[in-house]
Structure 1
Amino acid sequence: MSVFPAMQKRLIQILGFLVSSLGWLFVLCTLAMDYWRTSQLGGQGGSNVIKVAWYWSNLWKDCYTDSTAVTNCRDYPVLWNVSYYVQAVRGLLMCGLSLGFCAVLCCFIGMDCTYLGGTDQIKDKLVFSGAVLHFVGCISDLSAYCLYINRIVRTALAARVGPGVLRYYLGPPIFLGLVGCFLVLFGAVLYAVTVLRIIFPGRTAAQVNNGGTFMPPAPTEFTGYYAPSRLNGSYVGSGRPNSKISRLSQKTPAKISERDAFV
């Protein structure tokens, strides 16, 4: 039996679908966005023309923009020549997005407001599977962002850097991706709370006055008040256990009198 009413369960699942799908789209957008890391040089001086340059990068290229708004970019070379952390971030994000796409399909088919997926038990299992996939995909996306943040912050907060090394700072795609991960995780929790008690029901037990629990016995073949036990000469009733059956109720052979035999 469901913990939530039918209408309330549908509204929670619809909210979870919208929130998790929006978070998945946020993560997808960050994969193609610019300005994952930014750095600025110049911008101050005594001349009339202020010279400033911006260096920024994403997962696919490094770019340079000067004060005249001219941008020059250098695309990353083949896969095996890219920095290891950039490759790891790409792989983790793609893995998380793939799992999230499968989760969106499972949850859409398993929601109560759709007429797909079969019986209610199968639909609840699909919703729970989608919640698990959302959670795993969120962990993969979050690991990718944390790896990139660690690489940037380690250089930005270093006491000294080598010659020609720029101190980059985090750009908007990182924060948008973190918000997307939070939305995906929140949507997975909304999915799970609607079907968790249905898929994994707790043990039902009636509480008695002494604080213990009473489990109803398994049904037997005899349901009457005096249900005979498996032992000959005993019965199960309101009397004492192992009490013998009365002799009056036993079938005894009747003796034939001499007068009846003569007749």
Structure 2
Amino acid sequence: MDPIVEVVALLLGFIGWVMVGVCLPNRYWKTSTVDGNVITTSTIYENLWMSCATDSTGVHNCREFPSLLALSGYIQASRALMITAIVCGTFGLVAALIGIQCSKAGGENYVLKGRIAGTAGVLFLIQGMCTMVAVSWYAFNITQDFFDLYYAGTRYEIGEGLYIGWCSAVLAIAGGACLTCSCKMGTEEKYNVPYHARGTVYTGAGPARSVGASTYGRNAYV
């Protein structure tokens, strides 16, 4: 594969990994809606870890969720998926830095480097899929409660943290797909030297003949 494509894929994976790190602690995964409210005295916003409120004077107060087991199942699953995405992205970056062709970290074994690059691509794909599932699942629950006419609790809208997560997932999946395509499953080196080994060639038109130094005539030697 073109080394430029590998470098671009590495940059996409790196940017996606950074955006996951920005998305996870972001407080605005969902914000309380003002739809249907004539007077709004406070704004509530939450993420996977805490719930915050801001009043009309600008004073805000945050509290962490008191119990892990008391949380909804989708929040617990989203936490696990986002942490998995960060871990896979970290290992993917290390593997990509070793596996790309322009890197000297993995030596000159291009077959091994290609397989390491392919592994990095798979890790980036896992990162992107975990992030995509986490933020999409979280957004689904927000929209489900918002459009439920019988829901009596606070209605929320999608916050900026989810948009960052979606962008991160797309970048990670794109970078992972490019790196996965660079995986070299063959056994030949990148630069092959023509070589004819001694042996026997079998042809259907006639008897077997030997291939080697004897195929050259005497006039071939100086």
Residue 220 (1) aligns with residue 210 (2) = no
Q: CA RMSD in A?
A: 2.4
Distance 2:116 2:3 in 1: 15
C-alpha contact (below 8 Å) 1:88/1:144 kept by paired residues: yes
The match for 1:23 is: 16
Post-superposition Cα deviations, 1:74-98, rounded to whole Å, max 9, x if no partner, equal: 2111322322221111001101111
User: Aligned runs of 1:65-84 on 2, under 5 Å?
Assistant: 65-84=54-73
SS at match of 1:64: strand
Hey, what's the Cα distance between the residues in 2 that align with 1:75 and 1:121? 49
Q: Which residue of 2 aligns with 1:209?
A: none
Partner secondary structure for residue 62 of structure 1: strand
Aligned to 2:126: 136
Q: Name the TM-score, length of structure 1 as normaliser.
A: 0.68
Q: Confirm or deny: 8 A CA contact 1:53 1:66 kept in the other structure.
A: yes
Q: Matched residue pairs, number?
A: 195
Higher-Rg member (1/2): 1
Aligned-partner SS, 1:220? strand
Q: 1:57 aligns with which of 46, 69, 74?
A: 46
State the distance in 1 between where 2:202 and 2:146 align: 81
Letter in 2 for 1:147: W
For the pair 1:34 / 2:24, whether they are aligned, the reply is: no
- Specify the SS of the correspondent of 1:54: strand
Q: Report the Cα offset of residue 13 of structure 1.
A: 0.9
**1:221, CA displacement in angstroms?**
6.2
- Distance between the aligned counterparts of 1:172 and 1:11, measured in 2? 32
- Describe the superposition over 1:109-156 as per-residue Cα deviations: whole angstroms up to 9, x where unpaired: 011111111311110010001111111221111111121011111101
| Structure 1: gaps of 5 or more residues | 46-50, 202-218, 230-263
Asked whether the equivalents of residues 40 and 52 of structure 1 are also in contact (C-alpha less than 8 Å), the reply is no
Which residue of 2 is the match for residue 169 of structure 1?
Answer: 157
Say which of 177, 198, 204 aligns to 1:189. 177
Following the alignment from structure 2 to structure 1, what is the Cα–Cα distance between the partners of residues 72 and 208?
A: 81
Are 2:30 and 2:158, in contact at CA under 8 Å, matched by a contact in 1?
yes
State, as a whole percentage, how many aligned pairs show the same letter: 26
Are the equivalent residues in 2 in contact too, given 1:43–1:52 (CA < 8 A)? no
Return the TM-score normalized by structure 2: 0.80
**Distance in 1 between residues matched to 2:88 and 2:142, nearest whole Å:** 27
3-state SS, counterpart of residue 200 of structure 2: coil
